[in-house]
Chains A and B, each alone.
Chain A
């Protein structure tokens, strides 16, 4: 099992960041995300919490040995569940890979919550675990590769979303 964690602040209000989530992709720094679809969305009439289940299609650049050993294709899919709680001002995003999930899982949790000075705290954790059926060394190699890739994409995600949020607020400021 490998862990990854990062947290930082976005210089935008919680509402701006959370409504911006729907515009996060496509962005020029995260070209690995090819498609996004909503599989299910419900609004709880009691609490106002919106639950959204989405599927993200990604370009998978698995190392040759992974594709050769395990098969798999160009397309990789990730299932993502988002909860937005407007009353408590909290949003959480949980994602798990669907593709190659028989060999390894990457379980990611993100939380967006309001921070002082009209900013938004972002916390991200990920657990990356190969299934036990793999040989120890192969499993370890696969986990390490997945962690490296996750770290790269996490950095790109931050930069890309920062660009998108800035563009959105500029758009809003220039709008009549």
Chain B
């Protein structure tokens, strides 16, 4: 796994990554049945989101505390703010354009 931009955050970062990866594999593999109702779907994802928070939330907070101060020290923050303003990217990209070959 890749290092953190700040060496002192690398152990926390790798611990968090490992935690996420274990959760994520389980998240992707048994996809919820296509016939599930909206309510069932929401309940499923809510349970999964909570499970992630319970498992990885603590190490995530420790990692973020370390990372955020490194981002400030390295002077990356203003660039990051500018990028977030230009492209918030809060929503997924729209579906593939009709010109694409697949589908």
Q: Which secondary structure dominates where chain B touches chain A? A: helix
Q: Is the CB of A48 within 8 A of B28?
A: no
Using A85-B92, A111-B96 as known contacts, say yes or no to A96 and B31 having CB atoms under 8 A apart.
Answer: no
CA distance A101 to B84 in the complex (A): 13
Residue of B nearest to A23 (CB): B1
CA distance A155 to B67 in the complex (A): 31
Interface presence of A35 (CB below 8 A): yes
CA distance A119 to B96 in the complex (A): 17
Q: Is the CB of B89 within 8 A of A26?
A: no
Q: Which secondary structure dominates where chain A touches chain B? A: strand
Using A92-B93, A94-B89 as known contacts, say yes or no to A22 and B24 having CB atoms under 8 A apart.
Answer: yes
Chain A interface residue count, Cβ-Cβ cutoff 8 angstroms: 52
Interface presence of A161 (CB below 8 A): no
Residue of B nearest to A105 (CB): B86
CA distance A55 to B17 in the complex (A): 14
Q: Is the CB of B3 within 8 A of A34?
A: yes
Interface presence of A39 (CB below 8 A): yes
Q: Is the CB of A35 within 8 A of B21?
A: no
CA distance A57 to B83 in the complex (A): 15
Interface presence of A117 (CB below 8 A): no
Binding site for A on B (CB under 8 A): 1-5, 9, 13, 16-17, 20-21, 24-25, 27-29, 31-32, 41-42, 44-46, 48-49, 52, 60, 63, 67, 71, 74, 76, 79-80, 82-84, 86-87, 89-90, 92-93, 95-96, 100-102
